[in-house]
Structure 1
Amino acid sequence: MAKTKIKCLFTDIGGVLLNNGWDRKKRAEAIEKFKLDAEEVNERHHLTFDTYEEGKITLDEYLDRVVFYTKRNFSRKAFKEYMFSLSAPYPEMIKLMKELKKKYGFHIAVVSNEGRELNDHRIKQFGLNTFVDFFISSSFVHIRKPDADIFKLALDIAQMQPEDVLFIDDREMFVQVAEKQGIRGLWHKDFETTKRILASFGLK
């Protein structure tokens, strides 16, 4: 097994391993498909989505507030199935994570902001639990990035010192918050750039 100073890799899910499951673009697609009022849905979404991502309400409660606050001509089941169908993997990134873990033997932890039901679906649908050792998801631990406490908790769960960890995220601010905790950061922009930066950390 090859040697590396990195003992654990922290990574986001949305924007790194998979697409963002329910971002502005995905909501726009759902609004068009189900003929919803964009302004009303987005306003309600912004008022309550953080609460959903922190695991304080269920997906059904989120949808009660954002979509089903009035009678609709489609079912809740149809809308949820459509939401889940919007997720897609980034196969090159998943393959890279698996290959690096096999080569260097480090642990991989997810540190992400995701609501529980969407997160559970994405983990199982794309086999993330086949190579990720543990999930510090906002809906599991009731803390969201950019709260620095989520990184402190991740270090405790991983039983790692900050200097042992490299964190990958597609949001520059979240990388900067991790770096403030002494964790090395990698701002993910695209596969080739991340692959090159990982090599500069000795992960080839």
Structure 2
Amino acid sequence: MQQSSPITTLFLDIGGVLLSNGWDRAARKRAAAEFSLDLPELEERHHLTFDTYEEGKLTLDEYLFRTVFYEERPFSRDTFKDFMFAQTEPYPEMIDMVCRIKADYGIKIAIVNNEGRELNEYRIRKYGLNKFVDFFISSCFVHFRKPDADIFRIALDIALVAPQEVLYVEDRAMFVSVAEGLGINGLCHQDYASTREQLGKWGLAV
């Protein structure tokens, strides 16, 4: 085990970092085409209710009732959910790099992400994130969602670390900025190569 970094803990986003986004605008556009839905109507209903789903205050079925199944459809809810789950793709290089860093440096790995419970749990288990992540501070579990700074305060408490010990890897600059406002070190992820280089500068070379 190497011991050359001031960082004891990585906070990581999932969508855009370890996996593709689970249910983003592009996925909804594909769904509208696949199921002959009115895309503007789907988008409006989605934006009115998705934050509540991500905060763990709605089930996936309730979210879908508000956005898709508020009227009769020629397809089932299970068929639509299967389509939603199938939109995820893993980023194997990023997952492998995080696993190597954990093995080489013995640091803690925590997920800090916005996601609804059913999508979150499916993605975690499907791609084995629970095999190397120590803590999941997901919006659906803690009922706060980024950019609310409280989700980062909860993550610090759960991981029992000081902000200066943490490096937060996230693809959205605003969320990185919020974390940095609490004293957490930020790394705005763009691609595997640049993130690997930046991790090396923090003493986490792989």
User: Whole-Å Cα distance in 2 between the matches of residues 17 and 66 of structure 1?
Assistant: 27
Structure 1 residue aligned with 2:52: 51
Which residue pairs with 1:61 in the alignment? 62
Question: Structure 2: which amino acid aligns with 1:64?
Answer: F
- Aligned pairs for 1:75-90 within 5 A: 75-90=76-91
Map residues 40-189 of structure 1 onto 2, 5 A cutoff: 40-189=41-190
Q: Distance in 2 between matches of 1:88 and 1:75?
A: 24
What is the alpha-carbon distance in structure 1 between the residues aligned to residue 42 and residue 86 of structure 2?
A: 19
**Secondary structure of residue in 1 paired with 2:20:** coil
Aligned to 1:2: 2
Does residue 201 of structure 1 match 2:197? no
Structure 2 portions without partners, runs of 5+: none
Unaligned stretches of 5+ in structure 1?
none
Rounded to whole Å, the distance in 1 between the matches of 2:17 and 2:2 is 24
TM-score by length of 2: 0.98
Deviations along 1:92-148, one digit per CA (max 9) or x if unpaired, are 000000000000000000000000000000000000000000100000000000000
How big is each residue's C-alpha offset from its partner over 1:170-193, in whole Å with a ceiling of 9 and x where there is no partner? 000000000000000000001101
Scaled by the length of structure 1, the TM-score of the pair is 0.99
CA distance in 2, matches of 1:12, 1:76: 28
Return the alpha-carbon distance in structure 1 between the equivalents of residues 150 and 22 of structure 2: 24
The one-letter code of the counterpart of 1:175 is V
* SS at structure 2 position matched to 1:199: helix
Task: Find runs of 4+ consecutive structure 1 residues off by over 2 angstroms.
Answer: none
Please give the root-mean-square deviation of Cα atoms over the aligned residues, in Å.
Answer: 0.4
Give the Cα separation in 2 of the matches to 1:39 and 1:167: 34
Counterpart amino acid of residue 176 in structure 2 = V
Question: CA–CA distance in 2 between the matches of 1:155 and 1:198?
Answer: 20
3-state secondary structure, aligned to 1:203: coil
Matches of 2:159 and 2:125 in 1, distance apart? 22
Partner of 1:13: 14
Structure 2 letter corresponding to 1:156? D
Residue-by-residue CA offset, 1:69-106 (whole Å, 9 max, x unaligned)? 00000000100011001111000000000000000000
Quick one: which amino acid aligns to residue 167 of structure 1? Y
Query: How many percent of aligned residue pairs carry the same amino acid?
Result: 60
Residue 5 of structure 1 deviates from its aligned partner by 1.0
Aligned-residue offset at 1:195 = 0.4
Q: Partners of 1:183 and 1:66 in 2: how far apart?
A: 36
